[in-house]
Structure 1
Amino acid sequence: MEHIAFLGLGHMGAPMARRLLAAGHPLTVWNRTAEKTAPLVAEGAGAAASPADAVRDADVVITMLAGPEALDEVTDAVAPALRPGIHWIEMSTVGPDAVRQLADRVGEFVTLVDAPVMGSTDKAAAGTLGILAGGDPTGVAHVLARLGSVTRTGPLGTGAALKLVLNASVITGIAVVAEALRLADTLGVDGDTARAALANGPLAGAVARAFAEDVHFDTALAVKDLALATRAAELPATEVALAQLRRVAEPGTDLSVAAARIRATAK
């Protein structure tokens, strides 16, 4: 079983790392907030004091970080400690430019796969994430299979690109649902009736996510994802959704909280 270094133990990273540990992989974990490593250490993982210490003896590195800036910082730390032949699975939502920059920095002796995921904390815990794999994931396919089902998207960077496409559509859709319900409230339509009607239409998925419980997608990360998307292309509707999210977002709260605030407050 490959020795895996897992860097980033947020709402998604921790349950993903736990699945790999339960599967029998020797696991070393690192997180910027060191206290978050304690539950996994209690279950048998090793904790590293730094990203470089985490990857020094690893066969596979997995990063699940907050965004491009965090990935840059971790890369600065780990690049000198990477062994030739190591596999790096980059699973954060960072966009294709960050993936290509990472590939340039680590060089050909590292096999890099960009493999961002679709699904929230419930799917991370159950091992049923949708994994969008760019590059050649063959050497780590069995590792990814512990976390969910893999869709090969094409060359390196295409997984990260498709993740932006999907996240932009989902997050923007949630903002549309919230505004549709505000319109219903203004026009005197019963809220439950409006919600049920929307849930039976083409926005069904966005409605379900806007009211989801027991899952977590930090509104600050949603803002980051839409910002990455709008920097990549001219997206007027997404720009509006981004402005709405920036107005109501409170870091640490789920997207459902942002949707409720968009519904309740005027511009």
Structure 2
Amino acid sequence: MLNLTVLSLEYFTFQRKSKCVIHSHLAKCYNKGRGDSMKRIAVIGLGTMGKPMAANLLKSGFEVVVYNRSAEKSAELVSMGARAASTPAEAAQDVDVIITMLSNDAVVLEAVLGDNGVVHGVRAGQTVIDCSTVSPDTSKRIGSELLGRAVDFLDAPVTGSKPAADAGTLVFMIGGEEAVLDRNRPVFEAMGSKILYMGPTGSGSYAKLAHNTMVGINALGLVEGLSIVTKAGLDAEQFLQIVLAGSANSKQAELKGGKIVGRDFSNQFSLQLMLKDLLLASDVTNRFQMPSPMLKAASGVFQMGLSKGLGELDLCAVAQCYEDWMNLQIGKSAVSEERRRASRIQLNIPLHLSVHQWEQEGAFMGQTIQGTLYDLSENGLQIISEFPLAQDMFVVIHFPQEASLPPVTGRVIRVESDNNGTFRYGCLLSGLAPFDRLQLEAYISNHQ
């Protein structure tokens, strides 16, 4: 008697094997038809990374078709010999390999599977290589869709950021079929110096998110160390030499240390993309039900950086968050900063001070007096007034309306008098938000 379950299983296995055999045969026939000539390649996405990658392919002798949503980014590559396409679907026609290097999952899915996406231009035997940093689920979805069209797929995110993209020394971490990687190895070698096969589809994306988790954490470790020595009044550049020569050294220290100390926040890999990758990694660890406290902390700090408007700057611009918290620029000695402040001339910015004094238990009296802002110290203000105040008295300081600053509370911690009947008060500020302090510093700087 026939076992129908066994027969069904054998039939399913036969179908699956037949599909793979047909797929492989189509790929071989397509490649044979192309002969030994060099592959033609489409590059979709010409941003910080995609543009130099396409340039290196051109320099290596490949025929290159390019597409970017902002068409003007294609001009330089066209002048180098590339051909520009008007849609991803058009770019995918009559090429052997399609490379995508885009900013996030939604953009990648639209470029590959959207109405004008790559799927509408591909044919059996081609290979799609996604070098974007996306969710492993996105990589698996794209791989599955392309498999149904007998098109190979590799998820191949990179590390090295813009300098490595320019130099052609990127590191590729690749998921998919290893045989597909081997057939396209010359393409990767034109753009990178190391090509690592990680496993089936999605493996490259998992590896990249784990890698960028470490990048974000290492970047914050570097910034925190530089912040500590800056606040202590030490030379940040000398400290950086210690880091580079010691156990604290990292690629982040080598790439970003000098940029932070020199306040060069020009974009090599943006803060907003760093945050995007950390949030994708958080999704993965949540799905794994795996605690990741350092990842969560790093995500929070980069979110603060994004809220400060630093998203389009380099990821090392997150240092500006620490500068707000310690009221000092990294690389500037706290001692030299205090000396610089001490040398300022009198500002003569008029202020109103609300003074409150207790009369008896449960009641107080208040009055408004005139004062003049003399200087901004590290922790407070220096104010001149003819009205006598006592040490430890609290005052509410009202700035000129043009300053657009809220009233702030100050405690008198120092009183100095002169022979002209005026007093100079050192007032320690309380409850002043970092943003308000920066706005106050800018206002004072404009009145020097």
1:141-220 equivalent positions in 2, closer than 5 A: 141-148=185-192, 149-205=194-250, 206-211=252-257, 216-220=268-272
1:72-111 equivalent positions in 2, closer than 5 A: 72-75=109-112, 76=114, 77-108=117-148, 109-111=150-152
Counterpart in 1 of 2:357?
none
* Structure 1 stretches of 4+ moved >4 Å: 212-215
70-79 or 211-220, which moves further after superposition? Answer: 211-220
CA contact (8 A) 1:51 1:74 kept: yes
1:6-21 equivalent positions in 2, closer than 5 A: 6-21=43-58
What TM-score, normalized to structure 2?
A: 0.57
Match of 2:311 among 242, 251, 255: 251
Query: Structure 2 CA distance, aligned partners of 1:227 and 1:96?
Result: 13
3-state DSSP class of the match of 2:184? helix
Deviation at 1:184, TM superposition (A): 2.6
Counterpart in 2 of 1:44?
81
Query: Structure 2 CA distance, aligned partners of 1:100 and 1:18?
Result: 28
Greater helix percent: which structure?
1
- Indicate how the Cα distance of structure 1 residues 212 and 138 shifts in structure 2: closer, same or farther if over 3 A, else same: farther
Query: Structure 2 CA distance, aligned partners of 1:55 and 1:64?
Result: 14
Query: Structure 2 CA distance, aligned partners of 1:10 and 1:202?
Result: 34
Deviation at 1:215, TM superposition (A): 6.8
CA contact (8 A) 1:55 1:82 kept: yes
Match of 1:262 among 321, 328, 331: 321
CA contact (8 A) 1:209 1:256 kept: no
Query: Structure 2 CA distance, aligned partners of 1:124 and 1:193?
Result: 30
Corresponding letter in the other structure for 1:199 = L
203-212 or 145-154, which moves further after superposition? Answer: 203-212
Counterpart in 2 of 1:28?
65
CA contact (8 A) 1:174 1:209 kept: no
Of the two structures, which has the highest relative contact order with CA contacts closer than 8 Å and spacing of 6 or more? 1
Match of 2:108 among 51, 71, 74: 71
Deviation at 1:80, TM superposition (A): 2.1
- Indicate how the Cα distance of structure 1 residues 257 and 164 shifts in structure 2: closer, same or farther if over 3 A, else same: same
CA contact (8 A) 1:114 1:133 kept: yes
Query: Structure 2 CA distance, aligned partners of 1:163 and 1:99?
Result: 12
Greater strand percent: which structure?
2
249-258 or 56-65, which moves further after superposition? Answer: 249-258
Match of 1:125 among 159, 163, 166: 166
Is the radius of gyration larger for structure 1 or structure 2? 2
Verify: 1:242 aligned to 2:299, yes or no: yes
Query: Structure 2 CA distance, aligned partners of 1:4 and 1:20?
Result: 8
Aligned residues: 266
Counterpart in 2 of 1:227?
279
CA contact (8 A) 1:9 1:36 kept: yes
Query: Structure 1 CA distance, aligned partners of 2:247 and 2:215?
Result: 12
Structure 1: 5+ residue stretches without partners: none
Sequence identity of aligned pairs in percent? 33
What TM-score, normalized to structure 1?
A: 0.93
Structure 2: 5+ residue stretches without partners: 1-37, 260-265, 286-290, 326-433, 435-448
Counterpart in 1 of 2:366?
none
The CA deviation string for residues 2-45 of structure 1, in whole angstroms up to 9 with x for no partner, is 11110000111101001111222111100111110010011111
Corresponding letter in the other structure for 1:264 = E
3-state DSSP class of the match of 1:113? strand
Deviation at 1:212, TM superposition (A): 5.2
Corresponding letter in the other structure for 2:211 = L
